[in-house]
Amino acid sequence: MEAMRRAARRHLVQSVLRRDFPPHPLSSFSAVAAPRNVPTAARFASGSDVTTAHWSRRCPSPPPAASAKTFPVGLAGALTFSLALVTMAEAKEQHSPERIPKDVVLYQYEACPFCNKVKAFLDYHDIRYKIVEVNPLSKKEIEWSDYKKVPILVVNGEQLINSSDIVRNLDARLHPEKVTDDEEAKWLRRVDDHLVHMLAPNIYRTTSEALESFDYIANNGNFTTTERLAVKYAGAAIMYVLSKKLKKKYGITDERASLYEAAETWIIALNGRYFLGGSRPNLSDLAVFGVLRPIRHLKSGKDMVENTNIGEWYQRMENIVGGSARIAV
């Protein structure tokens, strides 16, 4: 982190002294890190963990397991870039090794927003973890557990469930002295009670969008060859119909307008801050980012970034969360 700060300051000084900027602006500039081009889709309806009661117990031993922006080059551009480097370096938290969980296994669906919420926390805090992709039809990978939804996180043999409870539990391990403020708690609830309900009506809004979502689910989920074909087309058809019922259930009249409103409400809550947590993301930043990450490169996610002001915050989050902390097995 200190090396990044020094590099940023050195770049700033050299840029100011040389004044040798190119005459034309650079387009599609993304500070610090390029966005991960990972299209994802929403979870299966059975994957929700919103209504789950608080439950954490010692479990049986489980099996092993950017928005395109025009960046003006010049003194202001050099200053902005350099300050961005320093800010991102300082925003990434560092933890003492004894507080970081050592044996972590996530049972998940790749496209589930709740699972992505947990992964956003793990990635940001550089907690190394293994993944077990659960077959949503058979769920044989979680036969050992009495709990049959995802995510399930096993930490040193202890089973944790419900995505919000999982991240709170992990956060308490990393920050035992922390007291969650009202704003952070409010937005953690709002993600589960409101934002996540905007996803399915949007990603399954049309037959083509439903197929787009299930193409990713089929190709990245844990399916046999036969299941993969059936899931793509049957799943898309089922969720297209179900999305209309969900739209009615949650009082949504215009899918996109509701998604845009949810995004803008979040940006208003930031009130000019880089993150809701201030100079660093807090649990709410990671939760919002996590549940939006599955749709970012789908049509609905692209529309959201193009038609709201959420793009810059999302890019900052993508930069600071960084690459996956997943352990390849």
> Active-site residue numbers?
109, 112, 114-115
Tell which residue, 168, 225, 156, has the closest CA to residue 192. Answer: 168
Partners of 229 in the β-ladder: none
Are 92 and 1 contacting, i.e. CB atoms less than 8 angstroms apart? yes
Strand-by-strand arrangement of the 104-108 sheet: 56-58, 158-161, 152-155, 104-108, 130-133
Strand-pairing partners, residue 152, are 107, 161
ω into 151 cis (within 30 of 0): yes
- The rounded radius of gyration (Å) of the Cα atoms in the chain is 21
| Number of neighbouring beta carbons within 10 Å of residue 269 | 15
Alpha helices in the chain (DSSP H): 2-18, 75-91, 113-124, 163-174, 182-193, 199-203, 207-220, 225-230, 236-249, 255-270, 283-292, 299-307, 311-321
> Residue 269 in contact with residue 187, Cβ under 8 Å?
yes
What is the Cα–Cα distance from 234 to 240, expressed in whole angstroms?
10
Residue 67: Cβ-neighbour burial (10 angstroms; 0-12, 13-18, 19+): middle
Question: Nearest to residue 300, comparing CAs of 260, 261, 266, 243?
Answer: 260
Do residues 135 and 223 make contact, with C-beta atoms less than 8 angstroms apart? yes
* E strand or H helix at 152: strand 152-155
